[in-house]
């Protein structure tokens, strides 16, 4: 059976219901990951779990060591990545609490260590990134969402910004013009690093606020935390359904 690694984002620094068998304080050629890799049992099967922002939540999106995180998970035995991301909603359908399995991504980040293929190489390597998410894994998430009975979308374009600040209304207008449906800060370079490791990767995104300018109210952390608290239960249920059926 496939060993899935769950990468928990904001609101999912620990996976309630995970029976932890082992905490692995791994070192990698790229430094330390955000937290120990946890090996355990969830929904009746072996999984790996890593808190993207550390536990407690302390590492901002632009300072996450994405290379170390994915490398450590692979070294621990991960065969596929299920990434959980908190995002803002741009498209009208992406209201607070909506769950989205994006099919494309636009990268607006800068200055992040974004590849394993650098330094003293034997040859230059380019990976095909036309379709950034693994389609078979996306379909498994979609099937689990379909059984959950909540508001969801099986496609969407994820615009990944640098952070840690939220975007301006003008920036969101630009992203919308570029075709983005949701906006977050952690989708890249995570997705491309998984591709460089040749491991399937898919994202389950929870909309926790309307993007800047998409609401008459200011975005507050209290509102975001409320949406996270309400939505992460559905996220865990979806992950449990996927794991139990595959």
Residues annotated within the binding site are 10, 52-53, 185-186, 209-211
Distance CA 101, CA 121 (A): 35
Beta bridge partners of residue 87, listed in sequence order: 207
Distance CA 140, CA 153 (A): 13
Binding site residue list for phosphate: 10, 52-53, 186
Beta bridge partners of residue 109, listed in sequence order: none
The pair of structure tokens assigned to 62 is 């632009």
Binding site residue list for substrate: 185, 209-211
Cα-based distances in Å from 32 to 52, 84, 193, 233, 244:
12, 21, 16, 29, 31
Three-class secondary structure of residue 48 per DSSP: strand
Which residue reads 């975001």 in tokens? Answer: 224
Q: Which residues make Cβ contacts (< 8 Å) with residue 65, sequence separation at least 6?
A: 30, 31, 32, 33, 34, 113
Per DSSP bridges, beta strands 4-8 and 19-24 are unpaired
C-alpha dihedral sign at 39, 241, 143, 91? negative
Three-class secondary structure of residue 86 per DSSP: strand
Running DSSP on this structure, what letter comes out for residue 30? T
């Amino acid at each position: 059976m496939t060993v899935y690694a769950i990468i928990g984002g904001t609101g999912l620094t620990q996976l309630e219901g995970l029976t932890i068998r082992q905490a692995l304080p791994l070192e990698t050629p790229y430094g330390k990951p955000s937290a120990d890799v946890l090996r355990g049992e969830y929904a009746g099967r072996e999984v790996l779990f890593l808190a993207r922002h550390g536990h407690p939540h302390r590492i901002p999106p632009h300072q996450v060591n994405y290379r170390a995180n994915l490398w450590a998970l692979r070294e621990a035995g991960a065969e596929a990545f299920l990434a959980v991301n908190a995002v803002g909603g741009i498209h009208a359908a992406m209201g607070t609490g909506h769950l989205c399995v994006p099919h494309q991504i636009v990268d607006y980040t800068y200055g992040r260590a974004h590849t394993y293929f650098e330094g003293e190489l034997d040859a230059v390597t380019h990976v095909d990134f036309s379709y950034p998410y693994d389609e078979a894994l996306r379909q498994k998430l979609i099937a689990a969402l379909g059984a959950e009975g909540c508001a969801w979308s099986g496609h969407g374009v994820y615009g990944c910004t640098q952070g840690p600040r939220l975007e301006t209304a003008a920036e969101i207008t630009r992203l919308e013009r570029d075709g983005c449906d949701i906006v977050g800060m952690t989708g890249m370079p995570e997705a491309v690093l998984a591709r460089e490791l040749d491991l399937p990767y898919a994202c389950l995104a929870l909309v926790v606020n309307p993007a800047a300018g998409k609401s008459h109210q200011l975005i507050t952390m209290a509102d975001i935390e409320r949406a996270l608290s309400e939505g992460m239960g559905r996220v865990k249920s979806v992950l449990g359904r996927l794991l139990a059926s595959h």
